[in-house]
């Protein structure tokens, strides 16, 4: 991953901003505020309004660039390709990632590029090109680019990175079923989605997989996780549970949820599995919320 300098941006690997041939003339700030989609209805028999569920509509930001390169036309084509992101826009639910550095802090956001428009050529320097576009946020917040993770291993003896001691609660040593728990501090300004990777045992298989935190549970019941396999759960707004690329969301118990969030503050995670080798482990990762729009 590219380390960004002050005033630089990166969209799915394409770098622009200070120190690049694609200079930012305007933009970089949120240009449309968060709006609220309401589902209010007039009361049919009273002077009242029936309040429905309110949903936040994420904002957007606009960019205007000067493309000043030896081959400006080719650089403009690369900028256009990055912004249109054909693979992303053709896939329902898929998003691009926009990163930027400001005041020494690198931020991370999900969304899609919109409305790419080539503008006029420079009347004095015909080799220069101009363009504008919009970035549509997928959420009403952005994150620090630093990925925080915590690991729960059934046999590990050391406290996972970021855990507050005592991070290990007693688990049943004489049984096939083991439990590991740890306490973490979730930084940031708001609740955040997270990603879970449950790696299968070194030998044999694991069942009765459960991972829980404050307000959420992932219970895979009788699902068999074989050695060398892994389950990946993404609780972002697309919500998915995959084992080796195939969906296993249907194996989750009714009490489970794919839309869990980590709230700022202290949280305790517990991981349970039936595994004779006690080598199955779960890794939870997230980015702290840094900007609220």
> Rounded to whole angstroms, how far apart are CA atoms 56 and 284?
27
Q: Say if residue 192 is in the same domain as residue 114.
A: no
Q: What is the pLDDT of residue 263?
A: 95
Q: What is the pLDDT of residue 84?
A: 93
Q: Is residue 278 part of a domain?
A: yes
66-76 tens-digit pLDDT: 998 888 889 99
When pLDDT is averaged across residues 79-93 and rounded to a whole number, the result is 92
Q: Structural domain tally of the chain?
A: 2
- Tell the residue number behind the tokens 């992101």, with chain if given: 85
Q: Is residue 3 part of a domain?
A: no
Q: Say if residue 58 is in the same domain as residue 24.
A: yes
- Tell the residue number behind the tokens 């930001």, with chain if given: 61
Q: Is residue 224 part of a domain?
A: yes
Q: Say if residue 216 is in the same domain as residue 89.
A: no
Q: Say if residue 140 is in the same domain as residue 152.
A: no
Q: Say if residue 126 is in the same domain as residue 195.
A: no
Tell me if 288 sits within 8 A of 192, measured CB to CB.
yes
- The answer, yes or no, to whether residue 238 has pLDDT greater than 80, is no
φ, ψ at 164 (rounded to 5°): -95, 125
Range of the domain at 31: 8-36+54-144
Q: Is residue 206 part of a domain?
A: yes
Q: Say if residue 22 is in the same domain as residue 116.
A: yes
- Tell the residue number behind the tokens 């009242």, with chain if given: 48
Q: Is residue 44 part of a domain?
A: no
């Amino acid at each position: 991953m590219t380390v960004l300098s002050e005033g630089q941006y990166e969209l799915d690997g394409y770098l622009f901003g200070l120190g690049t041939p694609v200079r930012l003339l305007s933009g970089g700030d949120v240009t449309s505020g968060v709006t609220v989609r309401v589902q209010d209805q007039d009361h049919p028999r009273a002077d009242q309004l029936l309040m429905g569920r309110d949903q936040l509509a994420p904002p957007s930001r606009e960019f205007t660039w000067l493309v000043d390169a030896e081959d400006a036309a080719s650089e403009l084509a690369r900028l256009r390709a990055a912004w249109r992101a054909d693979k992303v826009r053709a896939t329902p639910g898929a998003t691009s990632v926009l990163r930027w550095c400001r005041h020494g802090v690198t931020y991370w956001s999900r969304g899609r590029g919109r409305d790419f428009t080539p503008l006029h050529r420079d009347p004095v320097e015909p080799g220069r090109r101009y363009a504008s576009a919009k970035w549509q946020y997928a959420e009403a917040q952005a994150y620090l680019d630093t990925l925080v993770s915590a690991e729960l291993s059934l046999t590990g003896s050391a406290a996972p990175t970021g855990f507050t001691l005592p991070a290990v609660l007693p688990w049943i040593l004489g049984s096939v079923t083991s439990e590991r728990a740890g306490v973490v501090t979730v930084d940031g300004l708001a609740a955040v989605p997270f990603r879970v990777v449950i790696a299968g045992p070194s030998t044999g298989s694991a069942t009765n997989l459960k991972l829980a935190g404050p307000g959420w549970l992932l219970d895979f019941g009788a699902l068999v996780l074989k050695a060398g396999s892994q389950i990946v759960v993404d609780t972002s707004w697309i919500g998915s549970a995959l084992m080796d690329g195939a969906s296993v969301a249907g194996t989750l118990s009714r009490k489970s949820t794919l839309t869990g969030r980590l709230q700022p503050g202290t949280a305790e995670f517990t991981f349970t599995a039936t595994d004779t080798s006690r080598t199955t482990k779960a890794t939870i990762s997230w980015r702290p919320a840094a900007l609220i729009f």
